[in-house]
Structure 1
């Protein structure tokens, strides 16, 4: 070193600090790359992404290589800085060189490159991966030796680096990713994606039409009454039953009625021949499971039954799809049934039979959905009795006023939105 000039040592020191910055930035860049975008780019044959993916398959080797390189250049830089310090300041130069070099490495070889790499991981990781691949081949024996030692220690801790399977997301984490996507995913698409994830958190009871609201035709009625009902039917499937819904016979498609009317005279007998078998759905079936069952069985409608076989309600494929995409029905009967009616004073009159999930979605509320499925049921559960007249209550922190109670049911409720 005595033959090398001080200026040359400064140049070598600067090069070593630059190399240290490269290793530091490469480490942060490689570890900060979005794994899902990396996989996407790899599938599109992006060469940089493919190189990074290969290196990240064995993170122990990658980290070993980077730390070997980083420590070698930092130790060499420390030795050269000590020589420069002693040449300039004598024995006091050792302390001066230690303090100054520590600050320089922290600022220029650690914090700055790592910050840049964290902000722009792909710009740093993709080009640097080419050099890292080459260095891994050159220093492989040394990397292998160090990995053998470290892996032995990891095995004592019951950690196997070769079992690294990359990143996976739970449903809750994926939901967070969708919400955090911001402008990258339109709000409507975010809602649909979250709706798909939420299907596993709801069952058919949450969206079914309860049995007391299921419309159908009693085949034992007078034929003229049946004809009148058929003429005014507003549904895509017609439920036939005898006397009550518990003795359901099946569904008839209006298209089949038209065919019968054209080919032969429509009678009770021909109407019964047109009935399709009923598709039964066990209560408690998750919506994502039922959606797949509808797809597999080519069904569009089913009756929900409890453990005793009693009919609890009706669910259609459209009901499940609306949980994902929002309401899209154009059914006249549903359009005329306003469950939530805004009032001039800012309050809302709400039908007591409204589904709590629908109410939460429409009014942006957080009423509990793990118990009763309707607003009427939720209020009765709170009161533990049937109210006899008007009553003001707080439900999950929201103010409600009972307006109309009939037939042991809360028919109408007034809701005053909380002032923000």
Structure 2
């Protein structure tokens, strides 16, 4: 009976060490730091142990191997008499002793695998931080008690790692992919609300999207010419009630300043004719290169304290205008209601009308398309069509990609105004086909 009690003790300590090994290795540093910041000293101890894990793992392996050896020795001696009696009930031939030994071996191995290995490791994997916090104190005491052996084996291990030029400790660098994976897991579990999930996703998109995906494009910019008369100025304000207007000298690329519409309205309220005076113009304008990401543009707005920026290309040509509201709309996404014409309108379950200037990233999110070919070469859906066809598309030209048909249905001169995106009835591989319409 004492031997059976000894086996039970060995299984208990085997389970304890196996659980400790897995829980401390699997514990997430982010969660441990949160627990430590809330005053959990045991979580802080786990963090310190993770930073220098060599001694701990050396102790664990010494303990587990010692338990395995003792379990084999004690287990065979303890269980063999019982298995011999069982075998004798059905067989008493020359192989009885070997069969008894085999049965005792299988029994003791099964007990250790199930109760000293699988079950404790499953528990430790399910809640690693909780288990690690409970066992860390005892593990530190045992490590200290086995210091001579631990130092010997740990030194040999470190020497081997240095010989092969391998890192001595684990470096936990949290990447964007790691955070996105945690967001996906949180959304799937329900601990992260849908709005929170969308908002965090939009934050990461700010670094991957450039200004052309959020700006008002060049052909949509409404500006005053320095020579505009009162009737023309009033008509532009009535039709496009913006807060600020660019003032140019003959053409958009010759910007001389900007004016607030309220200054024009002040003239009209006084009974004067609307006209542009030099004293009304704001000549210190805010320029941004089109290559900036939305995140970089937000930082620039923070330091410039300007209501809008003129977006220019490498040839100093004006390609668009962007406001802080445009950037915030990109950040908030579907969480806020933006008044105005929608860029994507769903016709039915399998087709959408899409504006040509719609950013590719928005379409990827909507249609759940993982990748567009060479998407660093263009920003918009019209750009994808032009890049793929290697020419300016004509009406009814289309491209098939990843199970969707992208067809130009409204082309104004060289501008692709609108496309019809259709989900094909039979999903195709991620291949590209083109059709040249008449």
Please name the residue that 1:144 is paired with: 151
CA distance in structure 2 between the aligned counterparts of 1:226 and 1:143, rounded to whole angstroms: 84
Are the structure 2 counterparts of residues 16 and 367 from structure 1 closer, same or farther at C-alpha, using a change threshold of 3 Å? Answer: closer
Are the structure 2 counterparts of residues 391 and 36 from structure 1 closer, same or farther at C-alpha, using a change threshold of 3 Å? Answer: same
Are the structure 2 counterparts of residues 142 and 40 from structure 1 closer, same or farther at C-alpha, using a change threshold of 3 Å? Answer: same
User: 113, 120, 129: which is aligned to 1:122?
Assistant: 129
30-39 or 370-379, which deviates more: 370-379
Please name the residue that 1:24 is paired with: 18
Q: Is the 8 A contact 1:217 1:226 kept in 2?
A: yes
Q: TM-score, length-normalised on structure 1?
A: 0.85
Please name the residue that 1:73 is paired with: 67
- Secondary structure of the residue aligned to 2:181 is helix
Please name the residue that 2:55 is paired with: 61
Residue 382 of structure 1 and its aligned partner are, at CA, apart by 3.8
Spell out the pairing of 1:338-353 with structure 2 (5 A cutoff). Answer: 338-341=342-345, 347-353=351-357
Q: TM-score, length-normalised on structure 2?
A: 0.82
For residues 215-245 of structure 1, give each alpha carbon's deviation from its aligned partner in whole angstroms, at most 9, with x where no partner exists.
1111211133213333554223222212111
For residues 346-401 of structure 1, give each alpha carbon's deviation from its aligned partner in whole angstroms, at most 9, with x where no partner exists.
7544444444444555565665643333444433444444566x425234242344
Asked whether 1:304 is paired with 2:298, we answer no
Residue 14 of structure 1 and its aligned partner are, at CA, apart by 1.4
Please name the residue that 1:407 is paired with: 413
Residue 326 of structure 1 and its aligned partner are, at CA, apart by 0.9
Residue 23 of structure 1 and its aligned partner are, at CA, apart by 0.9
Q: Is the 8 A contact 1:193 1:324 kept in 2?
A: no
User: 244, 249, 253: which is aligned to 2:251?
Assistant: 244
- Secondary structure of the residue aligned to 2:252 is strand
Q: Is the 8 A contact 1:260 1:270 kept in 2?
A: no
- Secondary structure of the residue aligned to 2:310 is strand
Residue 281 of structure 1 and its aligned partner are, at CA, apart by 0.9
- Count of aligned pairs between the two proteins: 408
Are the structure 2 counterparts of residues 344 and 39 from structure 1 closer, same or farther at C-alpha, using a change threshold of 3 Å? Answer: closer
Residue 176 of structure 1 and its aligned partner are, at CA, apart by 2.0
Pairwise CA RMSD:
3.2
Spell out the pairing of 1:150-169 with structure 2 (5 A cutoff). Answer: 150-161=157-168, 163-165=169-171, 167-169=172-174
CA distance in structure 2 between the aligned counterparts of 1:267 and 1:313, rounded to whole angstroms: 26
Asked whether 1:370 is paired with 2:376, we answer yes
Are the structure 2 counterparts of residues 349 and 272 from structure 1 closer, same or farther at C-alpha, using a change threshold of 3 Å? Answer: farther
Are the structure 2 counterparts of residues 15 and 199 from structure 1 closer, same or farther at C-alpha, using a change threshold of 3 Å? Answer: same
Are the structure 2 counterparts of residues 120 and 414 from structure 1 closer, same or farther at C-alpha, using a change threshold of 3 Å? Answer: closer
Q: Is the 8 A contact 1:29 1:121 kept in 2?
A: yes
Please name the residue that 1:318 is paired with: 325
CA distance in structure 1 between the aligned counterparts of 2:411 and 2:199, rounded to whole angstroms: 37
CA distance in structure 2 between the aligned counterparts of 1:289 and 1:105, rounded to whole angstroms: 57
Please name the residue that 1:4 is paired with: none
CA distance in structure 1 between the aligned counterparts of 2:293 and 2:211, rounded to whole angstroms: 6
The unaligned stretches of length 5 or more in structure 2 are: 85-95, 427-438
The unaligned stretches of length 5 or more in structure 1 are: 1-6
Asked whether 1:379 is paired with 2:385, we answer yes
Q: Is the 8 A contact 2:351 2:421 kept in 1?
A: yes
- Secondary structure of the residue aligned to 2:376 is coil
For residues 44-91 of structure 1, give each alpha carbon's deviation from its aligned partner in whole angstroms, at most 9, with x where no partner exists.
111331222222221111111112222223322222224335666597
- Secondary structure of the residue aligned to 1:107 is helix
- Secondary structure of the residue aligned to 2:377 is coil
For residues 83-137 of structure 1, give each alpha carbon's deviation from its aligned partner in whole angstroms, at most 9, with x where no partner exists.
3356665975655543332222111111121122212323422211121122122
CA distance in structure 1 between the aligned counterparts of 2:318 and 2:295, rounded to whole angstroms: 21
- Secondary structure of the residue aligned to 1:244 is coil
For residues 296-315 of structure 1, give each alpha carbon's deviation from its aligned partner in whole angstroms, at most 9, with x where no partner exists.
22233211212221111112
CA distance in structure 2 between the aligned counterparts of 1:67 and 1:345, rounded to whole angstroms: 59
Q: Is the 8 A contact 1:242 1:248 kept in 2?
A: yes
Residue 279 of structure 1 and its aligned partner are, at CA, apart by 1.0
